[in-house]
Amino acid sequence: MFDKKMPEAWRVLRIQSELVDGIEHLAKVGAAVNIFGSARLPAQSPYYQQAESLARMLAQAGIPVITGGGPGIMEAGNKGAQGHGRLSIGLNITLPAEQRPNPYQELGLSFRYFFVRKFMFIKHAIAFAIFPGGMGTLDELFEAVTLIQTEKIEPFPIVMIGREYWQGLLDWLQQTVLMQGCIAAEDLSLFQLVDTAEEAMHIIGHHYRSYQQEGDA
């Protein structure tokens, strides 16, 4: 939703205000796990149920959960995290269709600009949990992989949940992208593929404990 009538200088100020507002509201959150996935998957989906389960385990372990604030997998993440003593956070985006805030956010922020919202996702992340999704989910996945690959951020686990869904993408990366020399073999180690919320929690929990120990040192 790009406002062509707004002067460029005023647009910069609006971007700045979103950055300041987001940083201020999330300042006390600390380390958090981002849960991504399709807005179109219903509550009956096994992936929805796994996202809800993972979010509950994270919150019970004392880790805040951040989602994109919408329906589907995002709703499952906020729903699972809500009411367990750690914040269930939604970073909502203004869109013409599909995005509506879910009711399970204990802290909900709204953004007009995708790149400001993406900055907020990365700023507090100690892990990304990637459930099946479409273009937006792929965007978040490869954004994180690129930032880690180029050493713009500290490495953290990128866990893809759902082997049946994601295996084809990983096969293509290995058999085509790697074989054509467009990535290095070590780039394929930047993400991990699992089938269950419990496996994802094991990976993320181990990283979180290491993160805490480094902070205490």
Each residue's pLDDT tens digit, 129-158: 999 999 999 999 999 999 999 999 999 999
Measured CA to CA, the distance from residue 89 to residue 77 in angstroms comes to 9
Q: Across all residues in the chain, what is the average pLDDT? A: 93
How many CB atoms sit inside 10 A of residue 138's CB?
A: 13
Each residue's pLDDT tens digit, 29-58: 989 999 999 999 999 999 999 999 999 999
Look up residue 97 and give its two tokens.
Answer: 């269709």
pTM for the model: 0.92
Each residue's pLDDT tens digit, 72-115: 999 999 999 999 988 999 999 987 765 689 999 999 999 999 99
Q: How far, CA to CA in Å, does 80 sit from each of 16, 56, 104, 158?
A: 32, 4, 9, 20
CATH code: domain 32-216 is 3.40.50.450
Domain boundaries, the chain: 32-216
Cβ-contact 161, 48 below 8 angstroms: no
